[in-house]
């Protein structure tokens, strides 16, 4: 029996729709894709779950805005580059700097930050009083981070003074094994990764405060939907007004 062409096409379309519905791997794309790195306690993966202050904040914002959200964790430099592409992309958590101003649309500030140069407690000879003196030692950094760029703006060079690593976890391993003299890190991230590697809190000490004035934001890609961005900004403002943002900050940062 010969099946008419138009009936065959309808049958094929119906089968395709049915198979897509039965296949759990086929799902509608999220309204927003957010890219981030492992930077505890702000954003990180643990036991296969996304955790952290900024993760919880963004999930609350998306829920309040009525938007579905897909969060992808990857090395910072890749997240930074991918988020600037086409689509409704977010990047978190990042510092708002003059060179980044036109690259993103901004939501926040979401949190304050303090970044230090950390050394092993046993390395008592490492006592920089300022950034000029810190150049005497090899420093582990995360490539393309705002803190790294701050050091480079003060005359530090990758490969000479600065040893780039994928993230704070890898740099903490290098510090423990003597491959670097100091590492540049957010205070909470340094102690979190130290504990994750089996170290004790008193194994490291801050050697120098590098930046205690900057704040963290969420960045939206240049072509991000204006309507979606407005909904997210309104959701953030509501979390500020109703005290949920302050409560989240207290839970993660104690203040």
Mean pLDDT calculated for residue range 222-250 = 97
- Mean pLDDT of the chain, nearest integer: 90
Rg (CA), the chain: 22
What is d(CA 137, CA 129) in angstroms, rounded to the nearest whole number?
13
Return the pLDDT at 255: 63
**Letter string b/e over residues 186-215, b meaning 16 or more CB atoms within 10 A of that residue's CB:** bbbbbbbbbeeeebeeebbebbbebbeebe
**In this predicted model, what pLDDT tens digit does every residue of 40-61 receive, in sequence order?**
889 999 888 999 999 999 999 9
* CATH code given to domain 32-112+214-253: 3.40.190.10
pLDDT at 194 over 60: yes
Return the pLDDT at 3: 46
What is d(CA 222, CA 89) in angstroms, rounded to the nearest whole number?
9
Do the domains 115-211 and 32-112+214-253 match in fold? yes
Return the pLDDT at 144: 86
Hey, where are the domains in the chain? 32-112+214-253, 115-211
**In this predicted model, what pLDDT tens digit does every residue of 25-45 receive, in sequence order?**
445 799 999 999 998 889 999
Return the pLDDT at 31: 98
What is d(CA 59, CA 67) in angstroms, rounded to the nearest whole number?
9
Query: How big is the chain, counted in residues?
Result: 255
Class assignment of domain 115-211?
Answer: alpha beta
pLDDT at 6 over 60: no
What is d(CA 229, CA 171) in angstroms, rounded to the nearest whole number?
35
């Amino acid at each position: 029996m010969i099946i008419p062409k138009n009936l065959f096409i309808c049958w094929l379309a119906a089968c395709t729709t049915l198979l897509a519905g039965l296949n759990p791997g086929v799902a509608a794309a999220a309204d927003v894709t957010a890219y981030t790195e492992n930077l505890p306690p702000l954003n990180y993966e643990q036991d296969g779950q996304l955790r952290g202050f900024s993760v919880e904040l963004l999930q609350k914002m998306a829920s309040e805005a009525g938007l579905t959200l897909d969060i992808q964790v990857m090395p910072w430099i890749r997240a930074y580059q991918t988020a600037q592409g086409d689509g409704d992309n977010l990047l978190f958590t990042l510092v708002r700097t003059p060179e980044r101003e036109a690259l993103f649309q901004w939501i926040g500030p979401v949190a304050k930050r303090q970044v230090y140069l950390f050394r092993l407690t046993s390395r008592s000879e490492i006592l920089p009083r300022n950034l000029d003196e810190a150049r005497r030692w090899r420093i582990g950094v995360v490539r393309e981070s705002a803190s790294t760029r701050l050091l480079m703006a003060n005359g530090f060079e990758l490969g000479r003074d600065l040893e780039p690593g994928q993230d704070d976890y890898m740099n903490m391993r290098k510090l423990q094994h003597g491959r670097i003299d100091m590492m540049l890190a957010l205070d909470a991230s340094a102690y979190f990764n130290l504990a994750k590697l089996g170290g004790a809190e008193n194994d490291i000490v801050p050697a120098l405060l590098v930046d205690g004035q900057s704040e963290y934001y969420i960045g939206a890609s240049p072509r991000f939907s204006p309507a979606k961005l407005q909904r997210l900004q309104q959701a953030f403002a509501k979390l500020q007004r109703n005290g949920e943002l302050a409560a989240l900050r207290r839970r993660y940062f104690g203040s």
